[in-house]
């Protein structure tokens, strides 16, 4: 943003506009108006040197597809699967073009898959879809210039929950012939990882009616020392997914001696932490920088230690 000029009200007007947009976008993430507002973010983005492959079917049985974003000259690049949020009830990969492009500009091959949502499916359905998307990415990353041995998962809100459950409860990836230790890392933006008890009727239908069944949905419940390194990113003023979720998962990983980084962003809400990856809101929080830094450090440590990829 250019420095303010007391002779011109335009920078102040722009700041006011961004603040208003942020409020609208934050409300939209919760109100079902996402399509219109994400279209605005997509309009503010642009492919540049990013090559996009759209509508790549990864699961013929469910006819689910994904989009791939990659640098034009990608070669053995780190790979990132991004799961969008929406309370496990809403969302489309096309809405997140701006996020795919922003991450690809950091030198990543980015995969954004769709997954079936409630009430069409419940926990087992969308987790199966997510595991299928990861398996497809692992098998096909090289064809898009990616390195399948440098595979990260990332998600926001419900998408962070999905990614975290794949990284902690090994049985989901086992169903597609993989293991959590094959992941180079997990990056969670404002994810619900420890959110019992359930009170909302939709979530009870989604995750089960008894506490014992609901525990299957809690990533913190499955931490056992076999998880990939994690970066947990959380806004301190989030009132949709409370910050205790990130703190609880970080504590569980620490108790098991697993590498985890917890980033708490002051005065940052549930929508802001996601939107900070977009051009209009890039200054709200250093999300992209922190993601890129985490990935570089983890890949450097793997190389230094000559860590081998676990093969089932």
33-89: per-residue pLDDT in tens? 566 667 767 766 666 789 999 999 999 999 999 999 999 999 999 999 999 999 999
Percent of the chain with pLDDT strictly greater than 90: 79
Question: What phi and psi, each to the nearest 5 degrees, are found at residue 109?
Answer: -90, 115
pLDDT score for 277: 95
- Planar angle of CA 186, 191, 195, nearest 5 degrees: 125
Per-residue pLDDT for 90 more than 80? yes
pLDDT score for 36: 63
pLDDT score for 31: 43
pLDDT score for 4: 29
* DSSP H helices in 32-108: 34-44, 97-104
End-to-end CA, the chain: 50
Least confident of 24-38, 64-78, 131-145, 181-195: 24-38
Cα 170 → chain centroid: 19
Mean predicted confidence (pLDDT) in 173-179: 98
pLDDT score for 46: 65
Percent of the chain with pLDDT strictly greater than 70: 83
Per-residue pLDDT for 7 more than 70? no
pLDDT score for 1: 31
pLDDT score for 304: 65
pLDDT score for 281: 87
pLDDT score for 38: 72
Residue 91's nearest CA partner among 130, 56, 137 is: 130
Interatomic CA distance for residues 266 and 52, integer angstroms? 34
Mean predicted confidence (pLDDT) in 88-95: 96
Least confident of 45-59, 126-140, 149-163: 45-59
Question: Residue 82, class by beta-carbon neighbours within 10 Å (0-12 exposed, 13-18 middle, 19+ buried)?
Answer: buried
Interatomic CA distance for residues 81 and 83, integer angstroms? 7
User: Which positions ≥6 away from 211 have C-beta within 8 Å?
Assistant: 196, 197
Per-residue pLDDT for 272 more than 80? yes
Domains in the chain, ordered, with CATH? 38-304 (3.40.50.1820)
Question: What phi and psi, each to the nearest 5 degrees, are found at residue 45?
Answer: -100, -170
User: Which positions ≥6 away from 147 have C-beta within 8 Å?
Assistant: 76, 77, 78, 79, 141
Q: What are the respective helix, strand and coil percentages of the chain, to the nearest 5? A: 45, 20, 35
Per-residue pLDDT for 160 more than 80? yes
Kindly report the number of other CB atoms within 10 A of residue 10's CB atom. 11
Structure-token pair, residue 86: 């929406």
Higher pLDDT, 282 or 194: 194
Mean pLDDT (the chain, rounded): 88
Mean predicted confidence (pLDDT) in 105-128: 98
Interatomic CA distance for residues 290 and 286, integer angstroms? 6
Residue 189's nearest CA partner among 249, 240, 250, 233 is: 233
Per-residue pLDDT for 156 more than 90? yes
Higher pLDDT, 21 or 97: 97
- Are β-strands 77-83 and 146-156 bridged in parallel, bridged antiparallel, or unpaired? parallel
């Amino acid at each position: 943003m250019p420095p303010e000029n007391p002779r011109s009200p335009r920078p102040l007007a722009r700041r006011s506009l961004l603040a208003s947009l942020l409020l609208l976008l934050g409300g939209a993430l919760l109100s079902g108006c996402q399509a219109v507002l994400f279209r605005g973010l997509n309009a503010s983005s642009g492919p540049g040197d990013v090559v996009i492959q759209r509508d790549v079917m990864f699961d013929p049985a469910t006819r689910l597809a994904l989009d791939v974003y990659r640098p034009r000259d990608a070669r053995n690049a780190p790979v990132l699967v991004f799961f969008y949020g929406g309370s496990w009830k809403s969302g489309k990969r096309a809405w997140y073009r701006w996020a795919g492009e922003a991450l690809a500009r950091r030198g990543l091959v980015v995969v954004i898959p769709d997954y079936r949502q409630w009430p069409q499916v419940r926990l087992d359905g969308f987790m199966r879809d997510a595991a299928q998307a990861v398996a497809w990415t692992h098998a096909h990353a090289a064809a898009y210039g990616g390195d399948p041995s440098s595979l990260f998962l990332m998600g926001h809100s419900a998408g962070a929950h999905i990614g975290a459950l794949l990284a902690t409860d090994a049985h989901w990836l086992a169903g597609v012939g993989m293991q959590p230790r094959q992941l180079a890392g997990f990056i969670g933006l404002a994810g619900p990882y420890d959110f019992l008890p359930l009170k909302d009727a939709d979530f009870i239908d989604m995750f089960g009616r008894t506490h014992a069944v609901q525990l299957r949905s809690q990533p913190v419940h499955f931490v056992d020392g076999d998880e990939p390194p994690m970066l947990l990113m959380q806004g301190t003023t989030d009132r949709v997914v409370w910050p205790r979720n990130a703190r609880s998962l970080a504590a569980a990983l620490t108790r098991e001696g697993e590498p985890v980084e917890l980033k708490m962003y002051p005065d940052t809400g549930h929508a802001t932490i996601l939107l900070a990856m977009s051009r209009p809101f890039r200054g709200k929080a250093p999300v992209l920088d922190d993601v890129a830094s985490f990935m570089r450090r983890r890949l450097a440590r793997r190389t230094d230690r000559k860590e081998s990829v676990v093969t089932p």
